[in-house]
Amino acid sequence: MPEILENEADLELYSPNPEVCGMTTLDRAAFKRTIVVPFIRVKKEVVSKLLKALKHTTLKRPGLKRVIDDPEDEDSRFVLLHPHKISADYSLGEKEQKILKQFNINSQVSKYNLELTYDNFKVEEILRSVLPKGQEVTSGFSRIGHIAHLNLRDHQQPYKHLIGQVIIDKSPGITCVVNKTNIIDNIYRNFQMEVLAGEANMIAKAKENHAAYEFDFSKVYWNSRLSSEHGRITELLKPGDILFDVFAGVGPFAIPAAKKKCSVFANDLNPESYKWLLHNCKLNKVDKNIKSFNMDGRDFLLGPLKEELTKELSLPTKERKNSVHIVMNLPALAIEFLDVFRHFLDGKPCSTELLPTVHCYSFSKHDNPAKDVQERAEAFLGTSLEGRSSTHLVRNVSPNKEMMCISFQIPAEVLYKQCTHEENPEEPASKRLRPNEDSPEEKLIS
């Protein structure tokens, strides 16, 4: 991210040539500008000590030299001063004059014409000078290996290719800049994108939580902002625990868990995600610890998960030493899958200590997102979670939208068939939305 300028005076001083305003095709030479800065002439042997003594007065700007050669005297140097640290009449303050006197330096301040080029400006400064005054400047981006991912606003669209090229110029290692062109509106959770600048290479490499990942960023879902959340869930697991990852993507929950010696069952509906999940399991040498599936989430819950959970919970209590965790990271819809667990298993309820723990993600636009998510989870489970769940704020998605994670052990009265089904768990939950509930289409976001 670009460094924030300290004040309006700096903003004006270090602005590119104002004639670049409105530029849509990058012309680096057009950004050249000459500014006038003060300097003092000093002997080269005292430069180092003087810079320390005048550290609050000298020019401080990344990429610009504070000391330059004196073209008329090889034994002297020009020490450049910050224009806003001296008076308007180019005279030094009393404190600075005393310092110069100690070094036997003439306190006369002269003017130096300093040329600034495109290379001397930061991303934010360049974009601010190009976009019309007062319009929002986008200089931040998500980085996925060599790819910079932007979410441009409508008013930035005419400048999109220039923005992309500037980011490549100013960001070492970035060779491709892409912009999202629609919301996530399909069952595979990926979005269409366009290449704004650089190579059209979508095969990304990323590292997260001591694991390496490779994938086609244009065909799978990956969000670098979820790194901390992936790590948080991994920290909850102990070696030998069982993890069911219902919407596994390319493996950011599953692979760290497998590296921690957990038994992992990972599923994703997207064939591309499944392909890269298998690839990443081998890449991280955990393919022996992960069983992977390419199924609809509901089918995975009613099939492999139910089968394995039945086996695990049927074991005598003394033989069960490990916990079972179920991760459901599809925040637009996952909470609607919780109805699957209603009367999920036959037999007698096991010890409450051994009941599986669910970590279910959801978006919320309510003033009290924790309460909202809990109430919606209760509606699909058919029971109260009061005092039996915890909610965690994952991240702020937008000014009025939060991503939350609700964690709870599935109550025994929900999990076991102690009464007749009130409804068919195989019926898509989206058909049983509560009154005033957003439709699945309205919930899908980027």
446 pLDDT tier (thresholds 50, 70, 90): very low
Share of the chain above pLDDT 70, in %: 88
pLDDT tens-digit profile of 23-54? 999 999 999 999 999 999 999 999 999 999 99
Nearest to 83 by CA among 28, 121, 39, 25: 39
pLDDT at 13: 80
Least confident range of 240-254, 309-323, 327-341: 309-323
* pLDDT for the residue 89: 80
Model confidence over 175-186: pLDDT tens digits? 999 998 766 555
Give the helix, strand, coil percentages of the chain, each rounded to 5. 35, 25, 40
List, in order of start, the domains of the chain with CATH numbers.
33-116 (3.30.70), 123-206 (3.30.300.110), 221-443 (3.40.50.150)
Per-residue pLDDT averaged across 198-213, rounded? 95
> Of 60 and 364, which is predicted with more confidence?
364
Left if phi > 0, otherwise alpha if psi is -120 to 50, otherwise beta: which for 357?
Answer: beta
Residues at the binding site for S-adenosyl-L-methionine are 230, 268-269, 296-297, 329
The residue type found at 403 is: M
Is the pLDDT at 284 greater than 60? The verdict is yes
Q: Closest Cα partner for 164 from 141, 144, 184?
A: 141
Query: At residue 154, what are phi and psi to the nearest 5 degrees?
Result: -60, -40
pLDDT in tens, 125-135: 999 999 988 88
Q: What is the pLDDT of residue 420?
A: 43
What's the pLDDT score for residue 349? 72
pLDDT at 183: 60
What the block records as the tokens of 419 is: 């009464």
What phi-psi label fits residue 124: left (phi over 0), alpha (psi between -120 and 50 degrees) or beta?
A: alpha
Q: Give 337-379 pLDDT, tens digit per residue.
A: 999 999 999 877 766 678 999 999 999 999 999 999 999 999 9
Least confident among 47-51, 140-144, 222-226, 286-290:
140-144
The distance of Cα 100 from the centroid of its chain, to the nearest Å, equals 49
Rounded to whole angstroms, the Cα distance separating 378 from 361 reads 14
Q: Which of 154-163, 190-199, 372-381 has the highest mean pLDDT?
A: 372-381
Stated as kind and residue range, the H or E segment containing 162 is helix 160-170
pLDDT tens, position by position, 95-140: 989 999 999 998 889 999 999 999 999 999 999 999 988 888 876 7
Binding residues: 230, 268-269, 296-297, 329
Banded model confidence at residue 143, pLDDT cuts 50, 70, 90? very high
With a cut of 60, say whether residue 430 has pLDDT above it: no
Cα dihedral 70, 73, 79, 81 sign = negative
Confidence (pLDDT) at 410: 96
Write down the H helix ranges in 197-337. Answer: 227-236, 254-259, 271-283, 297-300, 306-314
Task: Indicate whether 61 pLDDT > 50.
Answer: yes
Sorted by sequence, the CB contacts under 8 Å of residue 77 that are 6+ apart come out as 41, 42, 43, 44, 47, 67, 68, 69, 70
- Please state, in angstroms and rounded to a whole number, the distance separating the CA atoms of residues 42 and 79: 7
Helix axes 160-170 and 123-130, enclosed angle (nearest 10): 160
> Distance between CA 189 and CA 273 in Å, rounded?
10
Q: Quick one: what percent of the chain has pLDDT higher than 90?
A: 70
Closest CA to 392 of 401, 402, 382: 402
What is the per-residue pLDDT for 398?
84
Distances (CA, A) of 428 to 93, 303, 433: 76, 15, 10
Which whole number is the average pLDDT over 7-12?
67
**Model confidence at 435: pLDDT above 50:** no
Instruction: Pick the range with the lowest mean pLDDT from 86-100, 334-348, 411-425.
Output: 411-425
Which of 40-49, 189-198, 276-285 is the least confident region?
189-198
The pLDDT value recorded for residue 335 is: 97
Residue 191 has pLDDT above 80, yes or no: no
